[in-house]
Amino acid sequence: GAGVSQSPSNKVTEKGKDVELRCDPISGHTALYWYRQSLGQGLEFLIYFQGNSAPDKSGLPSDRFSAERTGGSVSTLTIQRTQQEDSAVYLCASSSMGWLAGGQETQYFGPGTRLLVL
Amino acid sequence: ILNVEQSPQSLHVQEGDSTNFTCSFPSSNFYALHWYRWETAKSPEALFVMTLNGDEKKKGRISATLNTKEGYSYLYIKGSQPEDSATYLCAPQSGGSYIPTFGRGTSLIVHP
Residues of chain A with C-beta less than 8 angstroms from the C-beta of B105? 42
Percent of chain A with pLDDT over 90: 73
Q: How far apart are CA A110 and CA A99, in angstroms?
A: 20
Q: Please, which residues bridge with residue A108 across strands?
A: A94
**Can you give the pLDDT at residue A104?**
75
Give the separation between CA A57 and CA A34, rounded to whole angstroms.
10
Bridge partners of residue A115, in order along the sequence: A11, A88
The reply to whether residue A109 touches residue B97, judged by beta carbons under 8 angstroms, is: no
Mutation target for B interface from A107, A108, A113: give the one with most B CBs within 10 A: A107
A69 Cβ neighbours under 8 A, 6+ residues apart: A32, A49, A55, A75, A76
B99 vs A56: CB contact, 8 Å cut-off?
yes
Distance from CA of B25 to the nearest CA of A (A): 14
The tens digit of pLDDT for each residue in B42-87 reads 999 999 999 988 899 999 999 999 999 999 999 999 999 999 999 9
Any B CB within 8 A of A25 CB: no
Residue type, A33: Y
CA angle B59, B63, B65 (to 5 degrees): 135
CA-based nearest residue to A24, from A95, A94, A90: A94
Q: How large a percentage of chain A has pLDDT more than 70?
A: 94
Residue A101 sits at φ, ψ, to 5 deg, of -100, 15
The alpha carbon of A25 is separated from its chain's Cα centroid by a whole number of angstroms, namely 10
Please determine, for residue A112, whether its predicted confidence score (pLDDT) is greater than 90.
yes
Contact A103 B97 (CB under 8 A): yes
Q: Is the peptide bond before B100 cis (omega within 30 degrees of 0)?
A: no
Sign of the dihedral defined by the CA atoms of residues B10, A6, B31, B53, in that order: negative
Coil/strand/helix, residue B69 = coil
- CB–CB of A3 and B99 under 8 A? no
Nearest 5 degrees, angle CA B2-CA B6-CA B9?
140
Q: Measure in Å the smallest separation between the Cα of B101 and chain A Cα atoms.
A: 8
Q: How sure is the predictor about B98, in pLDDT bands with cuts at 50, 70 and 90?
A: confident
Residues of B whose CB is below 8 A from A105: 49
Peptide bond into B92 cis (omega under 30): no
Tell if the CB–CB gap between A106 and B89 is shorter than 8 Å. no
Q: From the list B42, B51, B102, which residue is nearest A111 (CB)? A: B42
Query: Taking all residues of chain A, what is their mean pLDDT, rounded to a whole number?
Result: 91
Chain A segment 45-104 residues within 8 A of B by beta carbon are: 45, 48, 56, 59, 91, 93, 98-99, 103-104
State pLDDT tens for residues A76-110.
Answer: 999 999 999 999 999 999 998 776 666 678 899 99
Number of CB atoms found within 10 A of residue A23's CB:
27
What pLDDT does residue A99 have? 66
